[in-house]
Amino acid sequence: MRKYLIAGNWKMYTTPPEATTLASAIAEKQQFLSPPSSVQTLICPPYTSIYAAVEAVKGSGVRVGAQDCHTENKGAFTGEIAPAMVKASGCSHVIVGHSERRQYFSETNALLNKKILAALNEGLVPIYCVGETLIERKQEQTIAVVRSQLVDGLKDVSLKSADQLVIAYEPVWAIGTGLAATSDQAQEVHAAIRGFLKEILGAHGAETLILYGGSLKPENAEEILAKPDVGGGLIGGASLQEDSFAAIIAMACKLAL
């Protein structure tokens, strides 16, 4: 039975009341689908809506994550959120290194490495995002860029279980553009990531889930999720519509069996 994680990144959308409505609808869809234990569902609201989402999905099996965290658990860091705070709010996962964080907030691989280590130390599961820009792809640098992001970002990471870490491959040129990598393009990079994870993490690297994070939607979910090294999706726009998100979960359930 294949394992999948279907994760929704709500970005800077949903006030707490809106998060309650959306999370409740997703939880209802989840209970109707009754996915096998090998298919996990995760939603990642903005910080201010985490509590509302946690309350809304209680008892449904839907997990809640955060979109980022700081490198320290306390201190004079105005506006930042500590990993301990994320964990205490009811989250199981945290997204680290999303391309928008790299692009708009100049986050480096070295900084993201500190965030990953801090999250792991707190018992959170980091979803570490890697991927190339359009220019880098045109210059045939995709594999080199992804390898560098993995080697630097996972420095000194030691896992007791493959379930402690998730990788998300997000071709930057396919985020929010309506474009998507073909299933073959996705598989090519996922396979390369799998090889790098084995080098970096050893045996656990062979089992670590690798999500596809570039405009995954119901129309392309089956073709992409069926690829052997694709272990789910980090979904943006489609996760803000309960029907679209549920359709992707349903496809993962079908493929998992």
pLDDT, tens digit, for every residue of 119-158?
Answer: 999 999 999 999 999 899 999 999 999 999 999 999 999 9
Indicate which residue of 107, 132, 170, 242 is catalytic.
170
pLDDT, tens digit, for every residue of 210-250?
Answer: 999 988 999 999 999 999 999 999 999 999 999 999 999 99
Indicate which residue of 70, 93, 98, 204 is catalytic.
98
**In the prediction, which pLDDT does 177 show?**
73
β-strand pairing of 39-44 with 93-96 = unpaired
Q: Residue 148 and residue 28: Cα distance in Å, rounded?
A: 41
Residue pair 101/175 in contact by the 8 Å Cβ criterion: no
Q: Determine the average pLDDT of the residues in 56-85.
A: 98
Question: In the chain, what are the domain boundaries?
Answer: 4-256
170 is catalytic: yes
**In the prediction, which pLDDT does 181 show?**
83
122 is catalytic: no
* DSSP track, 112-169: HHHHHHHHHHTT-EEEEEE---HHHHHTT-HHHHHHHHHHHHTTT---SSGGG-EEEE
> 0.85 exceeded by the pTM?
yes
> Domain 4-256 belongs to what topology?
TIM Barrel (3.20.20)
pLDDT, tens digit, for every residue of 73-111?
Answer: 999 999 999 999 999 999 999 999 999 999 999 999 999
Q: How far is CA 34 from CA 3, 60, 120, 151, in A?
A: 15, 9, 29, 37
Which residue's entry shows tokens 């609201």? 45
